[in-house]
């Protein structure tokens, strides 16, 4: 289970989980779940387009997710953000469908773009994933205080001279970066699950931001490792296990916070 | 006219079915969509298509009718979102996201099992993208009846629904159960979205649900006008999209462009056009945040 091609899967999964745990924490905090769903799905169109014109899919993914992030960010400024995100999302998916109709791509490759193929990662794919992951984590670290401030108390942030619009754009670009690296390995649909489930669960366990952020990374790691081990044993898609374990974590988190509310003594709180 | 309508457009059976289903779903999507946009529930409206898709792929695996799967998946998903807290603005995003994540996991499993179970390819693409031109004509009556039922539900609750959408405090002060109205709306949304995603695919479903209503709300002053405008725009977009897709077959018959692409592109462009300064000045109305 830990040799040959599986070693690559473990390494990539660990990098992806750490990045998703860090970026996802802010996705949940800022209520950006919809862009986090839309950008990876739109990036899929980029990969399909790159396939069609015969360039490296990673470039297509990167360009399209950046366009998606900047487009959603700037259009949201003058319109309802959720409606804008929905329209940008379907536009990119429709572009992807149109690209696919023009190429002779066969079905398993569509499936792997959407749902990922983590067990088929080659060792030369690890370095770009690691670099982009590092860039995302560094980006979040550099903006940590400002992001936290605009996410939680936007008035105070504005009073301190932090521009909410700029922070939103910066965050969407980080999201696009995280998307580019993760879509080829875990798929457009699963990176989303990993960015929502573990951070949402972690927030139920702790009110302290730093602790919740660490918890989010830890839960994402456990989820991905357990999902790969289960997929290896049962030969079912990794994506199913990531989705099931993330939902289970969230259920446990909600259960814990409900129990904590009723059982913790008032003095302890 | 010859250059606009390629030969056989008006006599083609699939075109008739596509136009009929497209018109019905465009109307239902417009009516439900106006409330979806006003209530800022576009994410839930989109997520339910994916949740319904998971139901559809599960039904394919179990050998049930896809319609049962799409509707069942959508309704269960809407119930789960309500349970987690989609009715509160703060947790709305999260509730939708958690349900969507779990549903895509299930979809991954079912689609995998579907492709290993039967050798028929195209299941993934058919379920995800759908196509107006491959609708089974026998599903038309069911879609029409269920669409009418959705319209009736929305018609009955439209006044309290509008009030709860604009001000939940005011609504509860008047004795309206905000939670019940919210749940009823989510169920109506689930049925509308389930129907449209089985009929026209999940991409188009979201495009028709959000595109025409968002455009209409930007260019009209009242909800009723927005609803009428969204219906007209939705129907026009759908029919024009069908025409263009049909014609595209004659541009290059080896690889016709999918009908979803044209309809989505037209809705997206009309939304962008409604935001142009010249349109905004003419309407003289700033969009409510």
- Report CB contact under 8 Å: B101, A241: no
Using CB atoms, pick whichever of A101, A114, A247 lies closest to residue B101: A247
CB burial of B9-19 (b: ≥16 within 10 Å; e: otherwise) equals eeeeeebebbb
Q: How confident is the model at residue B209 (pLDDT cuts 50, 70, 90)?
A: very high
Contact residues, chain B, for A93 at CB < 8 Å: 203, 264
Interface of A with B in 144-183 (CB under 8 A): none
The structure's pTM equals: 0.85
Domains, chain A, ranges and CATH? 5-268 (1.10.3470.10)
Candidates A78, A192, A240; nearest CB to B275: A78
Residue B273: CA count within 13 A, CB half-sphere: 10
Question: Chain A: residue nearest B255 by CA?
Answer: A102
Kindly tell me if the per-residue pLDDT of B34 is higher than 90. yes
pLDDT for residue B289 = 40
The nearest alpha carbon in chain B to A80 belongs to B289
Q: Are B64 and B216 in contact (CB under 8 A)?
A: no
| Long-range contacts at B174-182 (CB < 8 A, ≥ 24 apart) | B178/B87, B179/B87, B181/B157, B182/B82, B182/B86, B182/B87
Domain extents in chain B: 19-210
Decide if A79 touches B, using CB distance below 8 A.
yes
- Between chains, do B122 and A242 touch, taking CB under 8 Å as contact? no
Q: What is the pLDDT of residue B269?
A: 92
B106 has a chain A CB within 8 A of its CB: yes
Does B122 contact A at CB distance below 8 Å? yes
Helix (H) or strand (E) holding A6: helix A5-30
Give the pLDDT score at A116. 65
- In this complex, is the C-beta atom of B120 within 8 Å of any C-beta atom belonging to chain A? no
Spell out the alpha helix ranges (H) of B85-201: 89-117, 123-129, 140-166, 168-173, 178-200
Q: Where residue B54 falls among pLDDT bands split at 50, 70, 90? A: confident
A4: which DSSP letter? T
A63 lies within 8 A of chain B by CB: no
A28 touches B at CB < 8 Å = yes
CA separation for the pair A195, A56 (Å, rounded)? 26
Residues 6+ apart with CB under 8 A from B146: B71, B191, B195
Q: Which residues have C-beta within 8 Å of that of residue B8, sequence separation ≥ 6?
A: none
Q: Among B183, B180, B176, B147, which residue's Cα sits nearest to residue B159?
A: B176
pLDDT value for A3: 67
- Minimal-distance CA residue of chain B relative to A112: B108
What radius of gyration do chain A's Cα atoms show? 19
Over residues B103-124, the mean pLDDT reads 71
pLDDT at A113: 66
Compute the nearest-CA separation of B262 from chain A (Å).
8
B89 reaches A (C-beta below 8 A):
no
Q: What is the pLDDT of residues B222-262, one digit of tens each?
A: 888 999 999 999 999 999 988 888 777 776 666 677 788 88
DSSP track, A206-253? -SSHHHHHHHHHHHHHHHHHHHHHHHHHH---HHHHHHHHHHHHHHHH
Cβ–Cβ of A244/B214 closer than 8 Å?
A: no
* B103 in contact with chain A, both atoms CB, cutoff 8 A: yes
Nearest Cα of chain A lies from the Cα of B254 at a distance, in angstroms, of: 9
Instruction: Decide if A190 touches B, using CB distance below 8 A.
Output: yes
How many contacts does A have with B, using Cβ atoms within 8 A?
A: 185
Residue among A80, A91, A192 whose CB faces B268 most closely: A91
pLDDT per residue over B73-92, tens digit each?
A: 999 999 888 888 766 767 78
For range B89-111, the mean pLDDT: 84
Whole-number mean pLDDT of chain B?
Answer: 81
Q: Do B102 and A246 touch (CB under 8 A)?
A: yes
Question: Per the CB < 8 Å rule, is A37 touching B97?
Answer: yes
Q: Tell me how far the alpha carbon of residue A23 is from its chain's centroid.
A: 7
Q: Write the class of the CATH domain B19-210.
A: mainly alpha
What does the pLDDT average to over B125-132?
56
Low-confidence ranges of chain A (pLDDT < 70): 1-5, 104-120, 264-269
Higher pLDDT, B278 or A198: A198
> Which pLDDT does position B1 carry in this prediction?
45
Residue of chain B minimizing CA distance to A81: B40
Whole-number pLDDT of residue A115: 64
Which residues in chain B touch residue A117, judged by CB atoms under 8 angstroms apart? none
Compute chain B's Rg from CA coordinates: 19
Query: What six digits make up the tokens of B200?
Result: 């026209």
Q: Least CB-CB distance to B264: which of A28, A91, A196? A: A91
Question: Closest partner residue to A80 among B40, B100, B258, by Cβ?
Answer: B40
> What backbone torsions phi and psi does residue A265 show, to the nearest 5 degrees?
-70, 145
The C-alpha atoms of residue B67 and residue B145 are separated, in whole angstroms, by: 13
Chosen for mutation from A94, A116, A187 (greatest number of chain B CBs closer than 10 Å) is A94
Coil/strand/helix, residue A265: coil
Euclidean distance between CA atoms A130 and A122, whole angstroms: 13
Closest chain A C-alpha to B256 CA, distance in angstroms: 7
Confidence of residue B288 (pLDDT cuts 50, 70, 90): very low
Half-sphere exposure of A23 (CA within 13 A, CB side): 35
Could you tell me the pLDDT band of residue B283, with boundaries at 50, 70 and 90? low
Of residues A83, A161, A239, A3, the one with CA closest to residue B105: A239
Please report the pLDDT score of residue A101 as a whole number.
76
Judge whether B52 and B191 are in contact, CB under 8 Å.
no
**Which of A40, A87, A116 has the highest number of chain B CBs within 10 A, making it the mutation to test binding with B?**
A87
> Would you call A247 and B37 a contact, using CB atoms and an 8 Å cutoff?
no
Question: What DSSP assignment string belongs to B175-235?
Answer: T--HHHHHHHHHHHHHHHHHHHHHHH-HHHHHHHHHHHHHHHHHH-SSHHHHHHHHHHHHH
Cα-based distances in Å from A56 to A62, A118, A150: 10, 18, 36
Interface test with B, best of A83, A112, A175 (most B CBs within 10 A): A83
Q: Please check whether residue A10 touches B, CB under 8 A.
A: no
């Amino acid at each position: 289970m830990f040799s040959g091609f599986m070693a690559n899967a473990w390494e990539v999964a660990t990098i992806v989980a750490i990045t998703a745990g860090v970026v996802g924490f802010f996705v949940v905090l800022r209520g950006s779940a919809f862009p986090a769903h839309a950008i990876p799905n739109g990036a899929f169109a980029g990969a399909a387009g790159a396939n069609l014109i015969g360039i490296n899919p990673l470039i297509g993914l990167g360009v399209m997710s950046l366009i998606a992030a900047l487009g959603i960010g700037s259009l949201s400024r003058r319109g309802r953000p959720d409606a804008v995100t929905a329209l940008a999302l379907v536009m990119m998916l429709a572009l992807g469908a149109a690209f696919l109709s023009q190429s002779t791509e066969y079905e398993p490759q569509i499936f792997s773009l959407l749902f990922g193929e983590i067990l088929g990662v080659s060792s030369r794919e690890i370095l770009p994933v690691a670099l982009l992951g590092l860039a995302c984590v560094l980006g979040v670290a550099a903006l940590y205080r400002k992001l936290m401030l605009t996410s939680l108390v936007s008035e105070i942030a504005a009073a301190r001279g932090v521009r909410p619009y700029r922070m939103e754009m910066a965050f969407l670009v980080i999201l696009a970066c995280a998307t580019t690296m993760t879509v080829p390995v875990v798929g457009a649909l699963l990176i989303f699950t990993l960015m929502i489930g573990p951070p949402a669960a972690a927030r139920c366990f702790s009110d302290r931001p730093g602790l919740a952020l660490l918890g989010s990374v830890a839960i994402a790691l456990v989820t991905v490792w357990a999902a790969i081990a289960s997929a290896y044993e049962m030969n079912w898609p990794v994506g199913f296990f990531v989705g099931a374990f993330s939902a289970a974590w969230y259920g446990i988190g909600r259960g814990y916070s409900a129990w904590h509310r009723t059982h913790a003594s008032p003095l302890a709180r | 006219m010859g250059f606009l309508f390629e030969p056989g457009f008006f006599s083609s059976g699939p075109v008739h079915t596509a136009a009929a289903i497209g018109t019905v779903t465009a109307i239902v999507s417009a009516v439900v969509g106006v409330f979806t946009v006003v209530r800022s529930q576009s994410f839930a409206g989109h997520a339910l298509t994916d949740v319904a898709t998971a139901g559809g792929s599960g039904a394919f695996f179990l050998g049930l009718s896809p319609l049962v799967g799409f509707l069942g998946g959508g309704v269960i998903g809407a119930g789960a979102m309500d349970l987690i807290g989609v009715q509160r603005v703060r947790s709305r995003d999260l509730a939708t996201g958690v349900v969507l994540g779990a549903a895509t996991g299930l979809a991954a499993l079912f689609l995998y099992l579907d492709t290993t179970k039967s050798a028929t390819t195209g299941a993934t693409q058919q379920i995800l993208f759908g196509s107006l031109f491959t609708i089974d004509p026998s599903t038309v009556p069911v879609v029409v009846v269920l669409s009418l039922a959705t319209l009736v539900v929305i018609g009955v609750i439209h006044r309290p629904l509008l009030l709860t959408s604009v001000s939940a405090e005011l609504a509860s002060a008047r004795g309206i159960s905000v939670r019940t109205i919210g749940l009823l709306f989510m169920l109506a949304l689930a049925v509308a979205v389930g129907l449209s995603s089985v009929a026209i695919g999940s991409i188009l479903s979201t495009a028709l649900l959000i595109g025409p209503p968002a455009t209409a709300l930007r260019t009209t002053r009242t909800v009723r006008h927005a609803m009428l405008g969204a219906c007209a725009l939705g129907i026009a977009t759908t029919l024009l999209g069908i025409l263009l897709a049909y014609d595209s077959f004659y541009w290059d018959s080896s690889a016709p462009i999918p009908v979803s692409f044209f309809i989505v592109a037209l809705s997206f462009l009309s939304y962008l056009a409604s935001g142009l300064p010249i349109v905004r000045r003419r309407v003289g109305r700033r969009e409510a945040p």
